[in-house]
């Protein structure tokens, strides 16, 4: 169920991978073209998210934190809900607007299942 | 490309950005695109005039100047552009007295005195930065303040701040109920942790970080040793923020580096 839902994000052109992780960085489900990146990325995103929550407040299902990190090679997007985080790694040429909408909708859809 | 009434001001702003960054050809292209659909849009025409002047394209400059002087004889912007030309022409005449009396005569007939009036007081920030090698503390503060104020004028922007990467405030203009010290520490922490983590995954160097929480947005842009942070409401137009932030980073770079 979670895998099928995450696959909808993978359908967007330019997306290199998506994963759902716990707030501690443990992988719940992942779909990555290059699997070696995914574990480290998940752990790193969990760390960034923890710092953000310490600074701006804990994310909840009603008030999630959505972040986008733009680097010179990639774009890392993640949404932090109460119990999980969805992380997406995308190329620079991705349609970022469409991707953001899809991530938000997928996160809401996954909420009751995690 | 089709230009509608709502986007025309944004396009003029873009053209101005190009002009300010010395990309005169790009600016001319944008002005021409705007004028193809709104032929008498003064802002675009004045900008086009300035571009022609910068490129020393007299054949395009003169007819446009005449048209503008006819349409807006007492307009500050038009006179400003015309006055600058006269100043340059005069300087050129002094250096190199031209045999052709006719153009000089024409230029003299234009309202030179009025034009001069608009030249002097409006010293542009960019010119100040370039002309003086070392800026005093007050000058730096004023330049940074005016840069931050400009971005704060965008609808929906709650405040902006320039901080050193370690979290020390360089300059801030944030709303009253936000503590600049805490804001600076928060931005610095988020940015440093993100940078550290992303480099460990070999995903490249961070350029910017956007965070959405509830109805507040935080935009962090990386400069060379400093971070520009912008707080906004949900309604803000992100594209405009991006354009302005890039422009602002260039200005900050000139001041701080």
Which chain A residues are within 8 Å of B211, Cβ to Cβ?
52, 56, 65-68
For residues A6-32, b (16+ Cβ closer than 10 Å) or e, as one string? beebeebeebbbbbbbebebeebbbbb
DSSP-derived secondary structure letter, A25: S
Question: Do B117 and B148 fall into the same domain?
Answer: no
B175–A contact, CB cutoff 8 A: no
Which of B60-69, B96-105, B196-205, B246-255 has the highest mean predicted lDDT (pLDDT)? B196-205
More confident: B27 or B163: B163
Measure A108 CA to nearest chain B CA, in Å: 15
Q: What is the pLDDT of residues A36-58, one digit of tens each?
A: 778 888 999 999 999 888 888 88
A101–B contact, CB cutoff 8 A: no
Number of domains in chain B: 2
Q: What is the pLDDT of residues B220-243, one digit of tens each?
A: 999 888 899 999 998 888 888 899
Percent of chain B with pLDDT over 70: 75
* Domain at A2-113: CATH architecture: 2-Layer Sandwich (3.30)
Percent of chain A with pLDDT over 90: 62
Interface of A with B in 23-42 (CB under 8 A): 37, 40-41
Instruction: Give the per-residue pLDDT at A77.
Output: 95
Chain B residue with the nearest C-alpha to that of A62: B214
Contact between B3 and B33 under an 8 Å Cβ cutoff? The reply is: yes
Instruction: Give the per-residue pLDDT at B83.
Output: 64
In this structure, of A10-19, B108-117, B170-179, B190-199, the range with the lowest mean pLDDT score is B108-117
Q: What's the sign of the alpha-carbon dihedral B28, B33, B39, B43?
A: negative
Question: Do B46 and B157 fall into the same domain?
Answer: no
Question: Do B134 and B109 fall into the same domain?
Answer: no
Token pair for B118 = 């608009």
**Helix (H), strand (E) at residue B106:** helix B101-109
Q: What is the pLDDT of residues B63-85, one digit of tens each?
A: 888 888 888 877 777 777 766 55
Of B122, B143, B159, the residue at which a domain comes to its end is B122
Question: Do B130 and B251 fall into the same domain?
Answer: yes
Of B122, B144, B168, the residue at which a domain comes to its end is B122
ipTM for the whole complex? 0.89
Which chain B residues are within 8 Å of A73, Cβ to Cβ?
203-204
Instruction: Give the per-residue pLDDT at A88.
Output: 95
**CB nearest to A72's CB, from B194, B207, B210:** B207
* CB-based contact A55 B186, cutoff 8 Å: yes
Q: What is the pLDDT of residues B179-221, one digit of tens each?
A: 888 888 888 988 888 988 888 888 888 999 999 988 889 999 9
DSSP-derived secondary structure letter, B236: S
**Average model confidence (pLDDT) across chain B:** 76
Question: Do B137 and B151 fall into the same domain?
Answer: yes
Q: What is the pLDDT of residues B115-155, one digit of tens each?
A: 444 444 444 444 444 444 566 777 777 788 888 888 888 88
Interface of B with A in 69-108 (CB under 8 A): none
Whole-angstrom distance, CA of residue A82 vs CA of residue B19:
48
Which chain B residues are within 8 Å of A66, Cβ to Cβ?
211-213
Question: Do B141 and B246 fall into the same domain?
Answer: yes
Whole-angstrom distance, CA of residue B29 vs CA of residue B55:
14
Interface of B with A in 194-253 (CB under 8 A): 194, 197-198, 200-201, 203-214, 218
Whole-angstrom distance, CA of residue B49 vs CA of residue B80:
11
Whole-angstrom distance, CA of residue B68 vs CA of residue B75:
9
pLDDT at B170 over 50: yes
**CB nearest to B201's CB, from A41, A59, A72:** A41
Q: What's the sign of the alpha-carbon dihedral B99, B100, B106, B110?
A: negative
Whole-angstrom distance, CA of residue A44 vs CA of residue B198:
7
**CB nearest to A69's CB, from B189, B209, B212:** B209
**Average model confidence (pLDDT) across chain A:** 90
Contact between A105 and A11 under an 8 Å Cβ cutoff? The reply is: no
User: Helix, strand, coil shares of chain A as percentages rounded to 5?
Assistant: 45, 30, 25
* Domain containing residue B42: CATH number: 1.25.40.10
**Helix (H), strand (E) at residue B171:** strand B169-174
Instruction: Give the per-residue pLDDT at B17.
Output: 78
Question: Do B248 and B215 fall into the same domain?
Answer: yes
* CB-based contact A74 B204, cutoff 8 Å: yes
Instruction: Give the per-residue pLDDT at B227.
Output: 92
Give residue B138's domain range.
Answer: 126-256
Report helix angle B180-200 to A35-56, nearest 10.
170
* CB-based contact A65 B209, cutoff 8 Å: no
A55–B contact, CB cutoff 8 A: yes
Whole-angstrom distance, CA of residue A77 vs CA of residue A101:
11
pLDDT at B158 over 70: yes
Whole-angstrom distance, CA of residue B23 vs CA of residue B246:
15
Of B122, B145, B164, the residue at which a domain comes to its end is B122
Per-position DSSP letters for A33-82, written without gaps between them: SSHHHHHHHHHHHHHHHHHHHHHH----SSS-EEEEEEESSEEEEEEE-S
Domain edges within chain A: 2-113
Contacts 24+ apart (CB under 8 A), B152-157: B154/B236, B154/B237, B154/B240, B154/B241, B154/B244, B155/B235, B155/B236, B155/B237, B156/B232, B156/B233, B156/B234, B156/B235, B156/B236, B156/B237, B157/B230, B157/B231, B157/B232, B157/B233, B157/B236, B157/B241
Question: Do B137 and B230 fall into the same domain?
Answer: yes
A51–B contact, CB cutoff 8 A: yes
* CB-based contact A51 B189, cutoff 8 Å: yes
User: How far, CA to CA in Å, does B124 sit from each of B77, B79, B159?
Assistant: 14, 17, 24
pLDDT at B1 over 60: no
In this structure, of A87-101, B19-33, B154-168, B170-184, the range with the lowest mean pLDDT score is B19-33
Which chain A residues are within 8 Å of B186, Cβ to Cβ?
55-56
Instruction: Give the per-residue pLDDT at B100.
Output: 47
Question: Do B28 and B90 fall into the same domain?
Answer: yes
Question: Do B113 and B157 fall into the same domain?
Answer: no
């Amino acid at each position: 169920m979670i895998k099928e839902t995450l696959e909808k994000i993978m359908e967007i052109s330019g997306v290199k991978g998506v994963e759902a992780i716990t707030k501690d960085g443990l992988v719940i489900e992942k779909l990555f073209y290059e699997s070696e990146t995914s574990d480290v990325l998940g752990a790193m995103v969990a760390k960034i998210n923890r710092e953000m929550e310490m600074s701006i407040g804990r994310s909840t299902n009603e008030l999630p934190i959505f972040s986008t990190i733009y680097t010179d090679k990639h774009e890392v997007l993640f949404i932090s809900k109460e119990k999980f985080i969805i992380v997406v790694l995308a190329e620079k040429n991705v349609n970022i607007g469409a991707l953001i909408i899809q991530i938000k909708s997928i996160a809401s859809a996954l909420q009751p299942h995690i | 490309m089709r230009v509608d009434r709502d986007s025309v001001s944004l396009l003029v702003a873009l053209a101005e950005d190009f002009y300010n960054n010395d990309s005169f050809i790009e600016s001319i292209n944008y002005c021409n695109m705007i004028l193809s659909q709104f032929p008498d849009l003064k802002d675009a025409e004045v900008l086009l005039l300035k571009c022609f002047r910068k490129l020393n394209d007299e054949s395009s400059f003169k007819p446009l100047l005449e048209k503008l002087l006819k349409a807006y004889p007492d307009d500050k912007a038009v006179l400003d552009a015309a006055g600058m030309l006269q100043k340059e022409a005069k300087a050129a005449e002094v250096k190199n007295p031209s045999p052709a009396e006719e153009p000089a005569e024409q230029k003299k007939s234009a309202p030179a005195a009025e034009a001069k009036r608009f030249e002097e007081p409006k010293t542009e920030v960019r010119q100040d930065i370039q002309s003086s090698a070392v800026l005093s503390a007050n000058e730096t503060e004023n330049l940074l303040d005016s840069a931050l104020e400009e971005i704060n004028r965008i609808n929906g922007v709650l405040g902006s701040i320039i901080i050193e990467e370690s979290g020390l405030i360089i300059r801030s203009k944030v709303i009253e109920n936000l503590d600049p010290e805490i804001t600076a520490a928060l931005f610095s922490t988020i940015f440093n942790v993100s940078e550290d983590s992303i480099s460990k995954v070999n995903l490249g160097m961070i350029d910017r970080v956007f965070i959405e929480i509830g109805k507040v947005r935080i935009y962090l842009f990386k400069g060379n040793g400093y971070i520009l942070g912008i707080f906004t409401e949900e309604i803000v137009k992100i594209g405009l923020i991006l354009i302005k932030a890039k422009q602002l980073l260039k200005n900050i770079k000139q001041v701080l580096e």
